[in-house]
Amino acid sequence: MGWKNSAILATLFAVACGAFVFLVFSNNGVKLVEAKRREHEAVLAANRKMEEENAEMARTIQRLKEDPFFVEFVARQEYGLTGPDDMVFTFDRTRTGKPVWPEERAADEARRVEEARKLKREQEEGHKPEAKKPEKSEGSTKKSGGKKTEKPENKKDRKKKET
Note down the domain range covering 115: 90-128
Within-domain flag for 73: yes
Query: Do 76 and 96 fall into the same domain?
Result: no
Query: Do 44 and 68 fall into the same domain?
Result: yes
Q: How far is the C-alpha of 113 from the C-alpha of 107, rounded, in Å?
A: 10
Burial 144-153 (b: 16+ CB within 10 A, else e): eeeeeeeeee
Q: Give the count of domains, the chain.
A: 2
Strands 147-148 and 143-144: antiparallel
143 - beta bridge partners? 148
Within-domain flag for 20: no
Residue 129 has pLDDT above 70, yes or no: no
Query: Do 95 and 113 fall into the same domain?
Result: yes
Within-domain flag for 3: no
DSSP 81: -
Query: Do 42 and 75 fall into the same domain?
Result: yes
Residue 143 has pLDDT above 60, yes or no: no
Reported pTM: 0.38
Within-domain flag for 46: yes
Q: Which residue has the higher pLDDT, 145 or 82?
A: 82
Q: Across the chain, what does the average pLDDT equal?
A: 77
Write out pLDDT tens, residues 20-33: 877 777 767 777 88
Within-domain flag for 133: no
Residues contacting 30, CB < 8 A, separation 6+: 23, 24
Within-domain flag for 160: no
Residues contacting 148, CB < 8 A, separation 6+: 141, 142
Within-domain flag for 140: no
Where does residue 126 fall: left (phi above 0), alpha (psi -120 to 50 degrees), or beta otherwise? Answer: left
Write out pLDDT tens, residues 37-73: 999 999 999 999 999 999 999 999 999 999 999 998 8
Residues contacting 88, CB < 8 A, separation 6+: 82
Q: Which amino acid is at 47?
A: N
Q: How far is the C-alpha of 122 from the C-alpha of 127, rounded, in Å?
A: 5
Q: Which amino acid is at 35?
A: A
